[in-house]
Each structure stands twice: as C-alpha cells, then as structure tokens.
C-alpha cells in the first residue's frame, strides 16, 4: 500500500512539474520574448501554453495517479468520497513539490533572460490592472488606474475553479457525454484554456493552490521580495480555489448527475410463484391440458409444456431415418 502511494505521489510530482514547466515557461517566453518582439507573444499565447501543459501532464501521469495536479481537486474529490482522505495530504505535498520544481525548471531555462531583466523578479498570480477607459486591441501607452479589489478577485477565482471542476467531472463522466480516457485530457485542457481566455484577467487564474504557491515559494527563496506580503496569497489562490472546487463538485452532482437518465435495468423473465404454478397445474388437470413440465413428442419434435399449457421449449429434433 505504501509503495503504491509513493508511486502515485511520484506521478503527481511529475505531472505538476510538467504543468508548471509549460505554464511558467510560456509566461517567461512572453515576458522575455527571446525569439520575437514583445508584440509577437500575448495573453493568447499564455492561455494556450497553460492548456497544453494540462493536456500533456494528464496524458503522461493520468494512469499513474489520476492526474489531480491540483490540491483543490484532491480535496474536492475526497469530500465527495471519490478519493481516500488518508491520501489527501501526501498528494498535496507531491503537487506542491512538483510545482516548485516546475517553476525552477522554467527559471533555469530562461536564466540569462531573467538575469538581464533584473533578477530577482519571479512573479505569481495577483490582482490584474484596471484602466480608466475601455479599449480594443493594443493597450500600449495606456496607464492603469489601479487593480482589481480583493472581493472581485475572490469571486473570479471562485467561479473559475468551479468551472474547472465542472469540466473535469464532465470529461470523466461516462453517464454524461461519455468522453473516453483518450479524449478526457483534451476536454480538461480546453476547460483551462477557456477559463484563461474568459476569466484570467482579474487574477491571472490560479484555479490551483499548488500552481500559485510553488512558484511563489521558489521566488521568495530565490530573493524576490513581497510575494508573501499581506494575505492575498492565502485567501485568493488557496482558500478561494478550494472553496470553488468544493462548490463545483457538489453542484455537478446536484444539477447534472441527478438529472442524467438512469440506466435501464435488464428485463428479467418473470418466474411464477409456487402458488401460481400449483393453481396452473390444477387448472391443467381439470381442463385436460398438459401439466407444466410435461414432455410430448409430436411428429419429429419433442416439446415441453410450461405454465398454462403453453409450449415452453422444443427439446430436440428427431431425424427421420
């Protein structure tokens, strides 16, 4: 048992490492743009990078650990008794370690660019900027007028993580649309892509405590200051995402699972109770019909009579010599 848990934890470390390597890597690529001018990469590239990281990670370790890759998912599954409560803490430790290592991997991949850009400068999710005007396309030269409030950030992370759980549960629900194991990772990745495109601006869409805490811890240990100032780091990317995941898994059961058609039970042949059979035998005797179980030969076949004198079975065919 312990050996099996260690293997599953190893799967979570590897899967979360892949997720953060892709996610932090694409953010560094957009920020540092080593191949293109800064306009060549944008928010669209970031959202696709994270989504592809999810897809690859789930394909790689889904068969090993279930590819939770997210403490909020693990806690929600345990709350619905879909996952052993005794393995929640080991999974969270593995996911956080994988996220830390993934962030480190992305940092060393872009080390020279990070140093040239003024290292230490590791960043995590946080309130997005707001502007005093609406605009379409490039926002170059437009100064922000502030940031999204804590309450706005809480709502955005809550609903984003709720949607994430709906996507995960639907992807694995054979009673719903019936996505198979080969398709489910793509559906989950598409869900993450959609959340990033639609809800990512106000907070950077953590929707995963490990995905925020791992890089945040790596950044703090490597010298970036201010990452743990205040309580935002605990309230929004950790507590709120856990609450959103719990809400998501319960509401899926209430509004989706409960509304899905129930599988039809196979019809079983009716067996007449002993009293009915006895009555049939009496009736058969009175009316002259063969009693149930009587075997008669008619022509070249043998037949056995059932209840109420009906033919129950053709016993065999007699070949004429």
All domains of the chain in start order, with CATH? 2-127+147-259 (1.20.1080.10), 274-317 (no CATH)
Angle between helices 88-109 and 71-79 (to 10 degrees): 160
Phi and psi torsions of 296, nearest 5°: -130, 150
Return d(Cα 202, Cα 208) in angstroms, integer. 15
Residue range 140-144: average pLDDT?
74
Residue range 113-126: average pLDDT?
83
User: Of the given ranges (3-17, 136-150, 275-289, 297-311), which has the lowest mean pLDDT?
Assistant: 275-289
pLDDT, one tens digit per residue, over 166-199 is 999 999 998 998 888 889 999 999 999 999 999 9
Quote the percentage of the chain above a pLDDT of 90: 63
Whether the Cβ atoms of residue 307 and residue 272 lie closer than 8 Å to each other: yes
Predicted pLDDT at 303 = 64
Q: Is residue 291 scored above 90 in pLDDT?
A: no
3-state secondary structure of 303: strand
DSSP-derived pairing of the beta strands 295-298 and 144-147 = unpaired
Cβ atoms within 10 A of the Cβ of 241, count? 30
Q: Is residue 91 scored above 80 in pLDDT?
A: yes
Number of helices and strands in the chain (H, E): 11, 5
Predicted pLDDT at 1 = 59
Q: Is residue 13 scored above 80 in pLDDT?
A: yes
Predicted pLDDT at 44 = 92
All residues at 6 or more sequence positions from 242 whose CB lies less than 8 Å from its CB, including other chains: 71, 72, 75, 76, 161, 209
Return d(Cα 278, Cα 290) in angstroms, integer. 13
Token output for 310 = 């009906």
H or E element in which residue 189 lies = helix 184-199
Q: Is residue 272 scored above 60 in pLDDT?
A: no
Q: What is the full DSSP assignment across 89-124?
A: HHHHHHHHHHHHHHHHHHHHHTHHHHHHTTSS----
Q: Enter the pTM of the model.
A: 0.80
> What is the average pLDDT score of the chain?
86
All residues at 6 or more sequence positions from 34 whose CB lies less than 8 Å from its CB, including other chains: 110, 113
In the structure, what pLDDT confidence band is assigned to residue 287 with cuts at 50, 70 and 90? Answer: low
Token output for 12 = 């979570």
pLDDT, one tens digit per residue, over 213-269 is 999 999 999 999 999 999 999 999 999 999 999 999 999 999 999 999 887 754 455
Closest by CA position to 216, among listed 127, 150, 123: 123
All residues at 6 or more sequence positions from 221 whose CB lies less than 8 Å from its CB, including other chains: none
Predicted pLDDT at 3 = 85
Tell me which residue has tokens 């039970």: 265
Cβ atoms within 10 A of the Cβ of 175, count? 11
Return d(Cα 153, Cα 157) in angstroms, integer. 6
Closest by CA position to 52, among listed 189, 171, 178, 184: 189
Task: List % helix, strand, coil for the chain (3-state, nearest 5).
Answer: 60, 5, 35
């Amino acid at each position: 048992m312990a050996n099996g848990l260690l293997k599953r934890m190893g799967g979570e470390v590897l899967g979360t490492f892949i997720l953060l390597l892709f996610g932090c890597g694409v953010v560094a690529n957009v920020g540092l743009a080593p191949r293109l001018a800064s306009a060549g990469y944008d928010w669209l590239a970031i959202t696709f990078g994270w989504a592809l990281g999810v897809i690859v990670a789930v394909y790689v370790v889904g068969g090993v650990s279930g590819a939770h890759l997210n403490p909020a998912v693990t806690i929600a599954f345990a709350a619905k008794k879909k996952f052993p409560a005794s393995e929640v803490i080991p999974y969270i430790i593995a996911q956080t370690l994988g996220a830390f290592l993934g962030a480190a991997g992305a940092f060393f991949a872009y080390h020279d660019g990070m140093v040239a850009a003024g290292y230490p400068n590791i960043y995590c999710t946080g309130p997005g900027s707001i502007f005093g005007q609406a605009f379409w396309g490039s926002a170059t030269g437009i100064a922000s007028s502030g940031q999204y409030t804590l309450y706005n950030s809480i709502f955005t992370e809550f609903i984003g993580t709720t949607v994430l759980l709906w996507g995960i549960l639907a992807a694995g629900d054979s009673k719903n649309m019936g996505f198979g194991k080969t398709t489910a990772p793509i559906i989950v990745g598409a869900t993450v892509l959609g959340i990033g495109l639609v809800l990512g601006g106000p907070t950077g869409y953590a929707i995963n405590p490990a995905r925020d805490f791992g890089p945040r811890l790596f950044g703090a240990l490597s010298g970036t200051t201010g990452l743990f100032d205040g309580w935002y780091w605990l309230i929004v990317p950790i507590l709120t995402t856990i609450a959103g995941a719990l809400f998501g898994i319960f509401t899926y059961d209430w509004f989706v699972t409960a509304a899905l058609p129930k599988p039809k039970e196979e019809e079983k042949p009716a067996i007449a109770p002993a009293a009915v059979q006895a009555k049939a035998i009496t009736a058969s005797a009175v009316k002259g019909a063969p009693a149930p179980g009587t075997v008669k030969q008619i022509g070249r076949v043998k037949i056995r009579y059932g209840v109420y004198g009906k033919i129950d079975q053709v016993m065999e065919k007699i070949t004429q010599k």
